[in-house]
Amino acid sequence: MMALPPTIAWSGTARDGHLELLDQTCLPQRVEVLRIGDVESLVAAIRRLSVRGAPAIGVAAAYGVVLGVRDAANGDAFHELLRSAGDALIAARPTAVNLPWAVRRMQAAGTHAASLDALLDEARAIHEEDRALCRAMGEAGAPLVREGATVLTHCNTGRLATAGDGTALAVLFEAWRRGTRFRVLADETRPLLQGARLTALELAAEGIPVDVIADGAAAGLIARGEVDLVLVGADRVAGNGDAANKVGTYGLALACHAHGVPMYVVAPTTTFDLGLEDGSMIPIEERDPAEVLTLGGSGIEIPEVGARNPAFDVTPGCLLAGIVTDRGIIRPVDADAVRSMIGG
């Protein structure tokens, strides 16, 4: 298995450097690294999912703010670019709250920053902190994985979706490092196949046994008792624990609830949006219908037939066994428990 370059890296100085993104649209067939030197190219890369996953797009956007302001001719222009570059980055994708969270932190730093170098330092700090959050989630969640278990996961929540080991996949990597042996079922994750292309690649690289399944196979396998645990990530968690994640997650939660299989969301504190009372307020990205009408690069469309392509859905917190965070596990999931773990 080939070693992959970093998901996100900054190369060079704040003034002349650039962002390097592993282009995830090419995986697993080809390893290509994009060189990004301006905000417009970064917004396009985020939109087409060259860089994806809630924490990863937050980290990329933090560096994007540096790209956006570095050509300012004077102080007024700097503050105008700080605002407009931030707006453009936030608008790239609406569901993951890590994106506005990181941009606002950079804007706050920019308002007080003594130099462009200080702003790049802030982006590097966001990058480094995300690594630590991944480590902490892995440690908090690893005991959930039992010897011999079959664990089902959805979408990609690993090193390709974060700056560290991931969210749900960080739990699996840590359990494996501790010597627990288990196997994984990876939902393929139509329409863009993050499970089949990315999760399977990451797990296989660590020697963790993984089988890809069609998304529609999951409920039947759960009903037949072939799944012991479901671990997924989240793009935004509301104040009551309702969690938006890749479309298909809600269906998994219903199947788990019906058959008594524990399902956990794994998400860092940066993915919580305590300003939203419940999940009905989370904006859900609608993507190009062409993604649904394409399979492996070939068109499967029929004249006069359209498609819907919501990229995420919302799982009510009450269907979850818990939410694994970098601060510990929220269990049971309700507004009080979320507030006491995340609010302080």
Beta carbon of residue 303, minimum distance to ligand MRU (angstroms, whole number): 29
- Smallest CA-to-CA distance from 172 within 189, 160, 157, 187 is with 157
Beta carbon of residue 13, minimum distance to ligand MRU (angstroms, whole number): 30
Beta carbon of residue 280, minimum distance to ligand MRU (angstroms, whole number): 18
Which residue number, 69 or 151, has a Cβ lying nearer to ligand MRU? 151
Tokens of 106: 């950079």
Tokens of 32: 């290509």
Indicate the residue type of 55: P
Q: Assess 234 for contact with ligand MRU (CB under 6 A).
A: yes
Q: H or E stretch including 77?
A: helix 75-90
336 assigned to active site: no
Which residue number, 21 or 69, has a Cβ lying nearer to ligand MRU? 21
- Smallest CA-to-CA distance from 260 within 216, 230, 240 is with 230
Q: Assess 245 for contact with ligand MRU (CB under 6 A).
A: yes
Number of residues that bind ligand MRU (CB under 6 A): 18
Q: Assess 235 for contact with ligand MRU (CB under 6 A).
A: yes
Which residue number, 314 or 341, has a Cβ lying nearer to ligand MRU? 314
DSSP state of 12: S
Q: From CA 207, how far away is CA 13, in angstroms rounded?
A: 37
Catalytic residue of the set 228, 235, 242, 273: 235
Contact residue for ligand MRU among 107, 167, 315, 325 (CB under 6 A): 167
What x-and-dash track marks residues 87-126 binding ligand MRU by CB under 6 A?
A: ---------x------------------------------
- Smallest CA-to-CA distance from 230 within 191, 266, 181 is with 266
DSSP labels for 95-155? S-THHHHHHHHHHHHHHH-SSHHHHHHHHHHHHHHHHHHHHHHHHHHGGGS-TT-EEEE-S
Task: Decide: helix, strand or coil at residue 224.
Answer: coil
Beta carbon of residue 268, minimum distance to ligand MRU (angstroms, whole number): 8
Q: From CA 229, how far away is CA 187, in angstroms rounded?
A: 14
- Smallest CA-to-CA distance from 96 within 173, 24, 192, 161 is with 161
Which residue number, 49 or 255, has a Cβ lying nearer to ligand MRU? 49
Q: Residue 27 in contact with residue 34, Cβ under 8 Å?
A: no
Tokens of 268: 């860092």
Beta carbon of residue 282, minimum distance to ligand MRU (angstroms, whole number): 12
Contact residue for ligand MRU among 55, 100, 191, 316 (CB under 6 A): 55
HSE at residue 243, side-chain half, CA atoms within 13 A, is 37
Q: Assess 162 for contact with ligand MRU (CB under 6 A).
A: yes
Contact residue for ligand MRU among 99, 106, 145, 161 (CB under 6 A): 161
Contact residue for ligand MRU among 42, 113, 155, 185 (CB under 6 A): 155
Contact residue for ligand MRU among 185, 193, 311, 324 (CB under 6 A): 311
Residues that bind ligand MRU (CB under 6 A): 49, 52-55, 96, 155, 157, 161-162, 167, 194, 233-235, 245-246, 311
Q: Which residues are catalytic?
A: 235
